[in-house]
Amino acid sequence: MNYSAKVLEHFVNPRNSGEIENPDAFGESGSEKCGDITKIYLTIQDGIISEAKFQTFGCCAAIAVSSVTTELLQGKTIEQAMLLTESDIVQALDGLPPEKMHCPPIAEEAVKSALLNYQQKQKKLL
Amino acid sequence: MEKDFVYADASATTPVSQEVLQAMLPYLIESFGNASSIYQMGRKNESAILNARTTIAQCLGANPKEIFFTSGGSESDNWAIKGTTDILKSQGKKHIITTAMEHHAVLNTCQFLEKQGFKVTYLPVSSNGIIDPLDVKKAIREDTALVSVMYVNNEIGTIQPISEIGTICHEHGILFHTDAVQAVGNVEIDVQKQNIDLLSISGHKFHAPKGIGVLYIQNGVNISPLIHGGGQEMGKRAGTENVAGIVGISKALEIAVRDISKKVETLTPLRNQLIDGLLQIEGTHLNGDRIQRICGNVNISIEGIEGESLILMLDMQGIQASSGSACSAGSLEPSHVLTAIGLGRESAHSSLRMTFDKNFHEKDVAYILETVPKVVSQLRSMSPLWNAKKGGLQ
């Protein structure tokens, strides 16, 4: 398995791992097939993501994907975060081995589910 | 030379030992001749091959004419199964019995034969990773051609009751093949006593180089060649002989068989220490029988973490080991061996295999036991599965 230096670096020093107590948004996703599970926690202030954290059960690629995803989310508006795609994640990691391309969609889905969770909470408040 | 890492993947492969290398070197440079050539250098190499065949036969309790050189374990397994069933199918025997935990060289060969019209019974495995000989007996049919059961499992190190299985096969006039790739140097092999008709071994698992193996074929067993060509190996396996490899595997086997009791004596306490130490980590369990396993195999599942992550983290700490996790194999399916002994997908994904041989020492055990818990807690700190479990326990 040939991982990029960036993937290995994120794996060894994952950014923002852990959970946020009482997050403004929470989402999770997993793959039945490979068994990976990712949870995303967000703090959102004035429509901007001020903090993003993750928990992941998965391989090196899955952990690096989650780590870089939380970095990509920081400082983004909800609308910008909605546009985050798996290819943005892959690009931010300088690529992934072909057999690991199923990892980014899991993170992308966890983010989408967190943002949906946020919107539902907002509606309830209104 | 100072060793700066702990190698705990001896079931994957081993380094060529100095003694083996020295035995091989003359046949790579000075005496490079083709063993089929009739001039002196050819004849010298032919007799080196004959000597190797004799040594190997002695180590296995066989006759030199029953020893055939191949490229390794996979070829030996393929040849044993395809070669014998090719003959037996014409007698209407188109059924094979094997187990759910065989090496892929056996499993995928059987699946290939299923496409050719063979029926295959894949025997279940008990939760401790051992085949019940009675299951073999029950699976035998009128048209059974061959039984193939491994001697030692490559992932969990469990030793199978092959003598009993061999006896059952012979009572029913059925051929018995065993993949003994992981058995060499760990348990005694005696093809006569154990009623074995065909036995596969692979050099690089016991300090010979990669690319050389043996198939023992009992005198009188009919087998079609897998590789057609020249008349080498009594016309049964074509190709210019790998003289250096043949001399190497002979030397390595001689040493491995000679040193079995010494190895078992030294490694069993280290293995037990390692098992006990690793099981101190919360949320772990041993895979495979604790007693009926080779002295150089430890396989545990560590809840809440995924195998590939664990292997890469350990690698960064200088420990080389392996896992039955799908991700570490580059596929999506976890180990078929671990699922065969009843592990759930999650548990199979969380497995850690450490295998070692004579180059493994007490200080290596100490270093592993110091390092693994740290890496485990680091990975668990970001695992939602572990956090959920811990949350649930509180």
Partners of B331 on chain A (C-beta within 8 Å) are 99
| Contact criterion met (CB < 8 Å) for B306 and A19 | no
pLDDT for the residue B325: 74
Query: If you count residue pairs, one on A and one on B, with CB atoms under 8 Å apart, how many are there?
Result: 68
Partners of A14 on chain B (C-beta within 8 Å) are 382
> How many helices and strands in chain A, by DSSP H and E?
5, 3
pLDDT for the residue A49: 97
Q: Which residue of B has its CA nearest to A38?
A: B384
Partners of A36 on chain B (C-beta within 8 Å) are 306
Amino acid identity at B142: E
Q: pLDDT tens, position by position, for chain B (394 residues)?
A: 345 789 999 999 999 999 999 999 999 999 999 999 999 999 999 999 999 999 999 999 999 999 999 999 999 999 999 999 999 999 999 999 999 999 999 999 999 999 999 999 999 999 999 999 999 999 999 999 999 999 999 999 999 999 999 999 999 999 999 999 999 999 999 999 999 999 999 999 999 999 999 999 999 999 999 999 999 999 999 999 999 999 999 999 999 999 999 999 999 999 999 999 999 999 999 999 999 999 999 999 999 999 999 999 999 999 999 998 766 565 667 899 999 999 998 888 899 999 999 999 999 999 999 999 999 999 999 998 887 777 665 4
Is the CA virtual torsion B109, B128, B263, B281 positive or negative?
A: positive
Name the percent of chain A lying above pLDDT 70.
Answer: 100
- Asked if the ipTM is above 0.90, the reply is no
Nearest to B326 among A8, A17, A34 (CB): A34
Alpha helices in chain B (DSSP H): 18-24, 40-60, 73-88, 104-115, 133-139, 162-171, 232-235, 243-258, 260-279, 307-316, 326-329, 336-340, 345-349, 362-380, 384-393
Q: Which residue of B has its CA nearest to A33?
A: B332
Mean pLDDT for A82-99 is 94
pLDDT for the residue B318: 96
Give the tokens for residue B310.
């664990």
Residue A2 has pLDDT above 90, yes or no: no
**Closest alpha carbon to B172 in B127, B131, B211, B142:** B142
Longest Cα–Cα distance in chain B: 80
Q: Which residue of B has its CA nearest to A3?
A: B312
Phi-psi region of B92 (alpha: psi -120 to 50; beta: other; left: phi over 0): left
What H or E segment, with its residue span, contains residue A55?
strand A48-57
Give the tokens for residue A59.
């391989």
| Contact criterion met (CB < 8 Å) for B386 and A35 | no
pLDDT for the residue B2: 46
The DSSP-derived string for B305-316 is: S-HHHHHHHHHH
Partners of B308 on chain A (C-beta within 8 Å) are 1, 59-60
Partners of B339 on chain A (C-beta within 8 Å) are none
| Contact criterion met (CB < 8 Å) for B330 and A99 | yes
In angstroms, the CA B185 to CA B200 distance is 14
Nearest to A63 among B309, B346, B386 (CB): B309
| Contact criterion met (CB < 8 Å) for B308 and A57 | no
Q: Give the minimum alpha-carbon distance from B342 to chain A in angstroms, rounded to a whole number.
A: 17
In angstroms, the CA A69 to CA A85 distance is 10
Give the tokens for residue A40.
């995303």
Give the tokens for residue B359.
């180059």
B153 contacts: CB under 8 Å, gap ≥ 6: B101, B129, B160, B182, B288, B337
The β-bridge relationship of strands A25-30 and B175-179 is unpaired
Q: Which of A52, A65, A103, A115 is catalytic?
A: A103
